[in-house]
Chain A
Amino acid sequence: MQTLDLEKDTLRDVNATLQSQGAQTNQTTWEIINPKGAHAIACGLDAGIEVTVKGSTGYYCAGMNKSAMVRVKGSVGPGVCENMMSGKVVVEGDASQYAGATGHGGLLVIKGNASSRCGISMKGIDIVVHRNIGHMSAFMAQSGTLVVCGDAGDALGDSIYEAQLFVRGSVKSLGADCIEKEMRPEHIEKLAALLAEAESEADPSEFRRYGSARKLYNFDIDNAGAY
């Protein structure tokens, strides 16, 4: 286990050290201590290393992640795990707004609540939130899966494309073109696998599925006058 201390080292040095680990590195396990809400911790990692952040972080933690496993033992500020390509990011506490925005792949797990705009414009990432999410989540979500074990706020899935949304609790309101859909066996199976990987014991059969009505994003000749 290698330890990086943000009270002693600059953020730039800490990130550069982690970013310089190649695929063949034998230093695969790292911890970052004294994060104290700093921004952009553990960003741009692209090797299969494990990084544990011991405390809460500010903006943009674990952004642009590829291959790495990042675990935050605290809460995170806005924009955690933005544009993840692959790998896994686990937040033990809460996440602020736009968690997992624009992510292309990998798994983001938030064990507490996520606030507004969770999964906005997601493009293939899987996101599992153990508790509740705020308003405008999965706005323009293109692909990937958003799983919410608690409740969802207003305008869930507004202008959604082909992402799949699973919510166990209540949905305050659905956004434009987002509808409830049938839960079929293949959805239960997919959800069960995601929940297991996300360290959640929620029962997949208690969830409802939401997705696109596909009325908004396909060009409809009857709407030609509106453009």
Chain B
Amino acid sequence: MCGIVGLFLKDESLQPRLGGMLTDMLVTMSDRGPDSAGIAVYRRDREGTKITVQSADPNTDFAGLAEALGVEIQVVDTHAILCMPSHIVAAVLAKIAADHPGLRIMSRGEAIEIYKEVGMPQTVADRFAIPNLSGSHGIGHTRMATESAVTTLGAHPFSTGADQCLVHNGSLSNHNRLRRALARKGTHVQTQNDTEVAAAYLTHRMEQGDNLGEALEAGLDDLDGFYTFVVGTKDGFGVLRDPIACKPAVLAETDQYVAFGSEYRALVNLPGIDAAKVWEPEPATVYFWSH
């Protein structure tokens, strides 16, 4: 099954409540997937670039990390947000790869932070104090694993490019072939997970010059399987369902926000939902909003 929620705020006054609203929505979707949960939050709270890293042994791996990498660090349980001027990002990533094998990169970008772990949505949200996070938009996912193991790295969202992330309800049947094809073109993924391949595919298309809408359109031809995708970029939020569209999806829009839920249940406590435009996104149709 899997459960997806997403929230794209038009009204800036709601930004301090983003984490809280997303958490409530995701917790409502808990029974769609008990294996792991994750949230991507977009917030431009400082200049420069943020890299979110995760460690299975945070006490050891995060000790002295700020000095070793020459960055500011903010530790949240098993995750740490590394903040740095954008021009040193490549050097920091190279140092992490060379000297810090225990660190896993969750995301990098000017706005994105990703928090994900094995466990139920409420547990994961509490560990990372997600309800306290402000932001402009965010995506949450609770997973019922099918295509790869139940691990932190197998949890959604997947981020394969700066400020990009993807969550998925469904399963892809051609991900192995596509993974090999992307590897030949120099785009590599970290896991055996099908969704990560879809994320890498979109990143690759966008590196080739597509905008997100064009990349998603191309995915309709190249991605074989069942999917409802919700995608985040630095200032945008998109939704795509496969042409068969058996994975559920509900969108709601008001003057204040656009919200996505795998089920309407996820949306019922949003402000003004009774007067919102609520609809089921059409199959094989790209929906996209940006600031």
Contacts and interface: CB of A to CB of B under 8 A. Distances in A.
Interface of A: 36-38, 56-59, 75, 77-78, 94, 96-97, 115-116, 134-135
Majority-rule SS of A interface residues: loop
Contacts, number: 44
B278 A135 contact: no
A75 B283 contact: no
A115 B244 CA distance: 11
Nearest to A96: B280
List 3 A-B pairs, minimum CB-CB distance, nearest first: A37-B265, A37-B264, A36-B268
A134 B283 contact: yes
Contact of B263 (A37, A115, A116, A134): A37
A10 B146 CA distance: 31
25 contacts: A36-B265, A36-B268, A37-B263, A37-B266, A37-B267, A38-B265, A56-B268, A56-B278, A57-B264, A58-B263, A58-B264, A75-B264, A77-B263, A77-B264, A94-B278, A96-B248, A97-B245, A97-B246, A115-B245, A116-B245, A116-B283, A134-B282, A134-B283, A135-B243, A135-B283
B280 A58 contact: no
A75 B263 contact: no
Nearest to B279: A94
B280 A115 contact: yes
Q: Say whether chain B's binding surface is mostly helix, strand, loop, or mixed.
A: loop
A36 B24 CA distance: 14
A180 to B, nearest CB: 24
Contacts of B283: 116, 134-135
A116 to B, nearest CB: 6
Nearest to B280: A115
Nearest to B28: A37
Contacts of B279: 94
